[in-house]
Structure 1
Amino acid sequence: MNFKNITVAGSGVLGYQIAFQTAFHGFNVTVYDISDEILEQAKGKFNVLGEAFKKDLNATQKQLNATLKNLNYTSDLTTAVKNADLIIEAVPENLKIKLGFYQKLSKAAPEKTIFATNSSSLLPSTLAKKTGRPEKFIALHFANEIWKHNIAEVMKHAGTSPQVFDDVIDFAKAIGMVALPIHKEQPGYIVNSLLMPLLSSALELWANKISDIKTIDKTWMVATGAPMGPFGILDVVGITTVYNINKIAADSSKSPIKIKVSKKLKKEYIDKGKLGTTTGKGFYTYPDPAFEKKNFLK
């Protein structure tokens, strides 16, 4: 692995975290997004993220200053990718948007550049043809709050070069991740294959009015010793992402319960701007959510 220049495409919930984490570990990072206005918002988020790195990782101000120097910004795709060894795509979780992005990216990027998608629900083989370089295309998936939940799921598709697979695993380790190699395509990778049944069941219990949010979370926390329940996890994942995944499932399966969950999420949370930890309000209110209070489990 000889990566030096990394481009992160998309500065949303995970994109800006990936960019900052990578820059923190000494790589030259270019942050690309569709407008300068969005990039300005990302710069503000980096300052907040720096405080989290101080608190959770004991990062020094010197390290954070160096991190910010490693970050560059552009809304011009050709400029963003001209020297890239690796591009990590973190654009919205929408097949049409991603396919359109890769069509443009394949023409703009140098031949050497490896492409990695951070998609949480789309298999790399779904996108591989549009990349124009399927042998240099792979999935590299991070969990939210990546500086704390530092896993990187590295999943190849049937056409991925073994060398690319090994290089991206090495890169993940180089930015402080615990690399999790996945040798065959699997919807949901490892983490979501384990986690999604839990979160889906919690949402269905809530949508069907079987029980309330706090009781469902309390049940899981007391029964397993987990530090948070499924709705606390959903706030961290981000309710927009949760809604998008449920909406895709509802549209494809026509499942009555998936439709009910999607409608309830949109009406009670998305439309009200309650999107989880990033907005300070979701199923809980932050920074002091009820599930962290002393008497929650009683």
Structure 2
Amino acid sequence: MQLNNTTVLGTGVLGSQILFQTAYHGLPVIGFDISEEALEAAKTRLDSLVAVYGEFFGEPTKAQAARDSIKLTTDMALAVNNADLVIEAVPEDLKIKEQTYQKLASLAPEHTIFATNSSTLLPSDISPFTGRPEQFLALHYANHIWKNNTGEVMGTANTSKEAYEAVVDFAERTGLVAIRVLKEQPGYVLNSLLVPFLESASHLLVNEVADAPTIDTTWKIGTGAPFGPFEIYDIVGLNTAYHIASHGGETSKKFAELLKSEYIDQGKLGVATGEGFYKYD
């Protein structure tokens, strides 16, 4: 079973990167989102990735060809009518995912495999909505896919071996290092390490132990890491940080409130919008 025709549901920061990564490695791909406004934002993101991929891989012509090959639509039926694989990258909200998969299940061909890129929800949380639990699993990408090129593959007790291996093969054919997650684990491998680290930083901020630049500087000097936790929050996107924090404990919820009132409501979502905890060109 080889997966070629690919659809990405959701064209946000990571969805756009998934589209570009797939196209750059030569597979036909189409992106779906719910509005023309969302697709216009996606076009801007995709255009900006031409220079990123061209510089990183040293092949600007190939990067432009990849951008030119990507199709976008607000018509889900059109987006999935020939899909071998649908990668879902919609917001981290179980209700939104339920509605998305219920519609998707009625439109996609019987052979199509569904993969969620959810960072916080287990595949088994979503599986009942898919209508095809044996053909459903998770494929989790890291932000800045072109260099942080892990693809964490995690199934459920119902995922077929054939579907799992097909997604591992797809990950490898699209330039990823396939990480076989052997059992369901909230956060997979990467976020099981990353989220507690970021949460600790947010608690230091909310409890007024230190401000964000001080926390970042302390971490970078003390460990030699290239980014501090709040720089990572900006890269990941403050909307994603908000959704994760809002499902945490009391201190995490306070951090979520701070993110919403001081940043998200002001349109400051991180690197993608030019400002979050820091300002960016």
Structure 1 and Structure 2 fold alike (TM over 0.5)? yes
- How far 1:264 moved relative to its partner? 1.2
- How far 1:103 moved relative to its partner? 0.5
Q: 1:17–1:145: 8 Å Cα contact kept in structure 2?
A: yes
Hey, what does 2:52 align to over in structure 1? Answer: 52
Mapping of residues 165-184 of structure 1, within 5 Å: 165-184=164-183
Hey, what does 1:25 align to over in structure 2? Answer: 25
Hey, what does 1:291 align to over in structure 2? Answer: none
- How far 1:98 moved relative to its partner? 0.3
- How far 1:243 moved relative to its partner? 0.7
Q: Does 1:70 align with 2:60?
A: no
Q: Which amino acid aligns with 2:211?
A: D
Hey, what does 2:254 align to over in structure 1? Answer: 260
Q: Which amino acid aligns with 1:11?
A: T
- How far 1:117 moved relative to its partner? 0.3
State the percentage of identical aligned residues.
Answer: 52
Hey, what does 1:38 align to over in structure 2? Answer: 38
Comparing 109-118 with 211-220, greater Cα deviation is found at 211-220
Mapped to 1, the partners of 2:229 and 2:251 lie a distance apart of 18
Mapping of residues 58-207 of structure 1, within 5 Å: 58-61=58-61, 63-207=62-206
Q: 1:27–1:70: 8 Å Cα contact kept in structure 2?
A: no
Deviations 1:14-42 (A, max 9, x none): 11110011011100001111123322321
Mapped to 1, the partners of 2:35 and 2:256 lie a distance apart of 29
Mapped to 1, the partners of 2:106 and 2:267 lie a distance apart of 37
- How far 1:274 moved relative to its partner? 1.4
- How far 1:155 moved relative to its partner? 0.6
Deviations 1:78-109 (A, max 9, x none): 11111100000011111101001100111100
Q: 2:31–2:72: 8 Å Cα contact kept in structure 1?
A: yes
- How far 1:205 moved relative to its partner? 0.2
Q: 2:3–2:167: 8 Å Cα contact kept in structure 1?
A: no
Mapped to 1, the partners of 2:48 and 2:68 lie a distance apart of 16
Mapped to 2, the partners of 1:246 and 1:15 lie a distance apart of 21
Mapped to 1, the partners of 2:64 and 2:216 lie a distance apart of 39
Q: Does 1:212 align with 2:211?
A: yes
User: Which of 264, 269, 282 does residue 263 from structure 2 map onto?
Assistant: 269
Deviations 1:220-244 (A, max 9, x none): 1122111111111111111110011
Q: 1:26–1:70: 8 Å Cα contact kept in structure 2?
A: no
Q: Which amino acid aligns with 1:51?
A: A
Question: Is the partner of 1:209 in helix, strand or coil?
Answer: coil
Q: 1:206–1:213: 8 Å Cα contact kept in structure 2?
A: yes
Q: What stretches of structure 2 of length at least 5 have no aligned partner?
A: none
Q: 2:24–2:66: 8 Å Cα contact kept in structure 1?
A: yes
Mapped to 1, the partners of 2:41 and 2:254 lie a distance apart of 33
CA RMSD of aligned residues (A): 1.2
Q: Which amino acid aligns with 2:24?
A: F
Q: Which amino acid aligns with 1:35?
A: S
Question: Is the partner of 1:278 in helix, strand or coil?
Answer: helix
Mapped to 2, the partners of 1:133 and 1:261 lie a distance apart of 37
Question: Is the partner of 2:272 in helix, strand or coil?
Answer: coil
Q: Does 1:231 align with 2:227?
A: no
Mapped to 2, the partners of 1:188 and 1:4 lie a distance apart of 27
Q: What is the TM-score with the length of structure 2 in the denominator?
A: 0.97
Hey, what does 1:290 align to over in structure 2? Answer: none
Equivalenced residues, count: 281
Mapped to 1, the partners of 2:257 and 2:37 lie a distance apart of 31
Q: 1:135–1:160: 8 Å Cα contact kept in structure 2?
A: yes
Mapped to 2, the partners of 1:59 and 1:232 lie a distance apart of 29
Q: Which amino acid aligns with 1:256?
A: E
Mapped to 2, the partners of 1:238 and 1:229 lie a distance apart of 14
Hey, what does 1:293 align to over in structure 2? Answer: none
